[in-house]
């Protein structure tokens, strides 16, 4: 299985590198932007990245689920599904903030088993699976400093933070940091740049599949607030509020957020 998984990760890496090369030739200020009925921005770049990923990822017998593709429910009968968000954090991309990314997850039998996340603005590429572990390509930053007495970092949604949903959680024992893309937040927790991330609002599967796989690759945990595990490739591809934390995250952090800790499996 590890050899097969290594092949999966190579495919993810090559697809993300193709996207990175394509983006280098794009003038951010010339990208057309439209808005969905709910007010979310959609760019021509979202659709272009979707095409590149679709050309590079799925093979015979593998299904596809993407924010920028019409949902084909035949995926429900496939054991391997690529779950993709061409741009997670489109609003941040439009605003010129380096908090958006390209997210590629591989789901097998409802579980996120491999993932790759590219932040084109920073040059970071996060790759991983349970079988092969975690790898970070690109600039290496200083990891979160729990050993130096620094409070644990919780990465949260910019939108939720702006709505005041995290005000009651801010304290000297916990540093709350808003970050645009949830996929990028999950990747940073996997890399050890923060201890945890959380969302109160429901998310689409394509927002989080890759990041969840990366958390698993490092020995971290992801679960709903009631302790149940996250499952993918559902008929309605949504994920309810959940909490994700790295292997070194203190138990006090999920407890403060009201998370019912499930027994480790």
**What integer pLDDT is reported at residue 36 of this predicted model?**
81
- The conformation of residue 250, written as its DSSP 8-state character, comes to -
- DSSP letter string, 49-102: HHHHHHHHS--TT-EEEETTS---GGGGG-SEEEEEEEEE-HHHHHHT-S--EE
List of residues 6+ apart from 177 with CB closer than 8 A: 153, 154, 155, 156, 194
**Of residues 143 and 214, which shows the higher confidence score?**
214
- pLDDT of 106 over the 70 cut: yes
- Element of type H or E holding 118: strand 111-119
- Whether residue 236 contacts residue 203, with contact meaning beta carbons closer than 8 Å, is answered with no
**What integer pLDDT is reported at residue 265 of this predicted model?**
43
Q: pLDDT-based confidence at 149, cuts 50/70/90?
A: low
**What integer pLDDT is reported at residue 263 of this predicted model?**
60
Domains by residue range for the chain, with CATH:
2-137 (3.30.540.10), 146-256 (3.40.190.80)
Report H helices in the chain: 2-24, 44-56, 90-95, 158-162, 182-191, 205-217, 252-256
Q: Which of 236, 238, 240 is nearest to 76 (CA)?
A: 236
- pLDDT of 7 over the 80 cut: yes
- pLDDT of 9 over the 50 cut: yes
Share of the chain above pLDDT 90, in %: 72
Summarize the confidence of residues 101-113 as an average pLDDT.
97
- Whether residue 239 contacts residue 228, with contact meaning beta carbons closer than 8 Å, is answered with no
Summarize the confidence of residues 31-53 as an average pLDDT.
90
Q: pLDDT-based confidence at 259, cuts 50/70/90?
A: confident
Q: pLDDT-based confidence at 150, cuts 50/70/90?
A: confident
pTM (predicted TM-score): 0.92
**Helix, strand, or coil here: 15?**
helix
- pLDDT of 110 over the 70 cut: yes
Q: pLDDT-based confidence at 168, cuts 50/70/90?
A: confident
Q: What is the pLDDT of residues 83-105, one digit of tens each?
A: 999 999 999 999 999 999 999 99
Summarize the confidence of residues 153-164 as an average pLDDT.
93
- pLDDT of 260 over the 70 cut: no
**What integer pLDDT is reported at residue 38 of this predicted model?**
78
């Amino acid at each position: 299985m590890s050899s097969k998984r290594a092949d999966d990760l190579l495919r993810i890496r090559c697809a993300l590198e193709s996207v990175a090369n394509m983006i280098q030739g794009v003038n951010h200020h010339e990208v057309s932007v439209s808005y969905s009925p709910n007010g979310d921005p959609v760019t021509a770049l979202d659709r272009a990245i979707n095409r590149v990923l679709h050309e590079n990822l799925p093979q015979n017998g593998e299904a596809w689920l993407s924010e920028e593709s019409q949902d084909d429910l035949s995926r429900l009968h496939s054991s391997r599904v690529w779950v993709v968000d061409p741009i997670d954090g489109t609003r941040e991309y439009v605003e010129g903030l380096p908090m958006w990314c390209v997210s590629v997850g591989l789901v097998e039998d409802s579980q996120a088993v491999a993932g790759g996340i590219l932040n084109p603005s920073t040059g970071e590429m996060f790759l991983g699976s349970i079988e092969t572990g975690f790898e970070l390509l690109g600039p290496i930053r200083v990891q979160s400093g729990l050993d130096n007495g620094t409070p644990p970092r919780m990465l949260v949604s910019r939108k939720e933070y702006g709505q005041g949903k995290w005000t009651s959680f801010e304290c000297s024992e916990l540093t709350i940091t808003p970050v645009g893309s949830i996929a990028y937040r999950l990747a940073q927790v996997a890399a050890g740049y923060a201890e945890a991330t959380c969302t109160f609002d429901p998310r689409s599967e394509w927002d989080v599949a890759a990041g969840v796989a990366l958390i698993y690759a490092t020995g971290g945990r992801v679960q709903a607030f009631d302790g149940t595990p996250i499952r993918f490739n559902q008929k309605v591809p949504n994920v309810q509020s959940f909490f994700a934390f790295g292997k070194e995250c203190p138990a006090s952090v999920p407890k403060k957020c009201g998370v019912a800790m499930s027994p480790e499996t």
